[in-house]
Amino acid sequence: MKAFLYIQLSAGKDLPYQQPILSAVKEALPDVTVLDIDLDTDKLTLQMATRLLEEATQAVVCIKGEQEQAGFGSILPLFEALLTPHQNRLLLILGQPARLLRMLQARPQLLVKQVQSETEIVQQAAVFFGELD
């Protein structure tokens, strides 16, 4: 199973209900399981996200955040799983989440790419999943 997990380092009440990036990924990569979470995500959904990452043969995780954000809130346990090296996992970083970037720099064995746009996210995911060359 291929999975795409979109994490926003923001509270849900400030976010739009539908994320255009999720629609773009579903359209471009219809065989990929898609899930999104934010700092207000409940425990059950976090468990689903963790299980999705464990069961996926390939996973792209896109993390969107800004520099001024303080922490990871309730999704910290998921980040512990994300920071464990996995050969079939790509982390895409959208924005400048300073704390996360420092954590990732300390783990050079992780496959991490900085992206600038949603179009680039879809393109990087397609290349990683072997859908594009």
Q: Average pLDDT of 121-131?
A: 92
Q: At residue 31, does pLDDT exceed 90?
A: yes
What are the angstrom distances between the C-alpha of 50 and each of 16, 43, 45, 47? 23, 10, 9, 5
**To which residue do tokens 């072997």 refer?**
130
- Tens digit of pLDDT for each residue in 5-27? 999 887 655 555 667 899 999 99
Tokens of 125: 């995911």
Q: How far apart are CA 128 and CA 61, in angstroms?
A: 11
Instruction: Give bridge partners of residue 112 from the DSSP assignment.
Output: 91
* Domains in the chain: ranges and CATH: 2-128 (3.40.50.10140)
In Å, how far from its chain's centre is CA 57? 15
Q: Residue 100 is inside which H or E element, if any?
A: helix 98-105
**To which residue do tokens 């300073």 refer?**
98
* pTM of the entire predicted model: 0.88
DSSP letter at 68 equals T
